[in-house]
Amino acid sequence: MTLPPYATLGQKIWHYTFLVICGLIFFFLIAPILTIIPLSFNAENFFTFTPGMLAFDAEAYSLKHYRDFFTNPDWQQAVSNSVTIAPVATLLSVALGTLAAIGLSQSHVPFRRAIMAIMISPMIVPLIISAAGMYFFYSRIGLQGTYLGVVLAHAALGIPFVIITVTATLVGFDESLTRASANLGAGPVRTFFKVQMPLILPGVISGGLFAFITSFDEVVVVLFVGSAEQKTLPWQMFIGLREQISPTILAVATILVVISIGLLTTVELLRRRSERMRGMTPG
């Protein structure tokens, strides 16, 4: 953003004020995340910067919290739970959410708005309420404290994201493409996989990413629906914070930040590629 040559003094002042405001907002958002990164290399078992760290003394830094994370069976179980539960829940969310979005985009479906509202309600209802509701419901049908229960609960939380992103992609979807496909002899299934799916893929991928992050980050529902056996990373972090304030949490947090950045970048690159592949912007 550069100033045009005819900018007045007022506009110039506003221009720089605006940049400062933007900078402050970024700082506010990112600073808390950035401070945990050096802290995770703390040689002491504290959550604070030691004088040695501030003096950049190499002795004050260590990887021992990372070592703890990679060797402690509690953390290792949490990791293995998280990496099994999140992908399965994501797959479920993507499959069901995509189908729901396609169904709800058909003009002949009755009560579309009402159905849509119900489907995305897990995103709007306070999580603690969903979690409590799920707890009572899942206990009744024997899903409480099972992997399946946690997966289903996370899928329910992820579906709204998929519905919303896929619906947004479908808005620009040209209905005549499915007609063309049918006209050329393709049945509904082939049309879905060969024509519709490749074109809405960017929306599906973004939705899937959100669903994955939801499951990966989620602590409230897993506390209710899961038990110690199904503890996920956030669950372990939460318990860890409450019971034994160990900087290992900071090491985990740092690893998660790095993974998140990597994931977002990969998915964004994939999405751009597939958007380029479909060549034209819809509509």
Partner 1 sequence: MSDARETAFVEFERVQKSYDGETLVVKDLNLSIAKGEFLTMLGPSGSGKTTCLMMLAGFETATHGEIRLKGREINNIPPHRRGIGMVFQNYALFPHMTVAENLSFPLEVRKVGKSEREERIKRTLGMVQMQDFGGRRPAQLSGGQQQRIALARALVFEPELVLMDEPLGALDKQLRETLQFEITNLAHELGITTVYVTHDQTEALTMSDRVAVFDDGRIQQLAPPDELYERPDNSFVAQFIGENNTLAGQLTQMGDHRCLVKLDDGATIDAVPVNVSKPGERTLVSIRPERVEIDPELGPDAHTLDAEVLEFIYMGDVFRTRLRVAGRDDFIVKTRNRVGQKRLTPGQHVKIGWLPEDCRALNG
Residue 175 Cβ vs partner 1, minimum distance, rounded to whole Å: 9
**Tokens 């998929």 identify what position?**
162
Interface with partner 1 (CB under 8 A), residue from 110, 176, 242, 243: 176
Closer CB to partner 1, 47 or 192, in the complex: 192
Paired tokens of 239: 């318990």
Position 198 contacts partner 1 (CB under 8 A) = yes
Size of the site for partner 1 (CB under 8 A): 23
Binding span for partner 1 by CB under 8 A among 135-143, 190-198, 225-233, 244-252: 190-198
DSSP state of 109: -
x/- letters, 117..156, toward partner 1 (CB under 8 A)? ----------------------------------------
Residue 271 Cβ vs partner 1, minimum distance, rounded to whole Å: 14
Q: What ranges in the chain are assigned the alpha helix state H?
A: 9-39, 51-54, 64-71, 73-104, 112-124, 127-140, 147-171, 175-183, 188-190, 197-217, 220-225, 233-243, 248-277
| Cα–Cα nearest to 119, from 165, 160, 158 | 160
CA–CA separation, 252 vs 40, rounded Å? 8
CB-based contacts of 48: which residues, under 8 Å, 6+ apart?
Answer: 39
Position 199 contacts partner 1 (CB under 8 A) = yes
Interface with partner 1 (CB under 8 A), residue from 37, 177, 239, 263: 177
Q: How many CA atoms lie within 13 A of 157 on its CB side?
A: 32
Residue 274 Cβ vs partner 1, minimum distance, rounded to whole Å: 8
Position 163 contacts partner 1 (CB under 8 A) = no
CB-based contacts of 160: which residues, under 8 Å, 6+ apart?
Answer: 97, 119, 120, 121, 122, 123
Position 277 contacts partner 1 (CB under 8 A) = yes
Position 278 contacts partner 1 (CB under 8 A) = yes
Position 110 contacts partner 1 (CB under 8 A) = no
Residue 107 Cβ vs partner 1, minimum distance, rounded to whole Å: 11
Interface with partner 1 (CB under 8 A), residue from 127, 186, 255, 257: 186
Q: How many CA atoms lie within 13 A of 104 on its CB side?
A: 26
Position 184 contacts partner 1 (CB under 8 A) = yes
Position 280 contacts partner 1 (CB under 8 A) = yes
Residues 201 to 220: which contact partner 1 by CB under 8 A?
none
CA–CA separation, 113 vs 119, rounded Å? 10
- Other Cβ atoms less than 10 A from the Cβ of 79: the count is 17
Position 180 contacts partner 1 (CB under 8 A) = yes
| Binding site residues, partner 1, CB under 8 A | 174, 176-177, 179-188, 190-191, 194-195, 198-199, 277-280
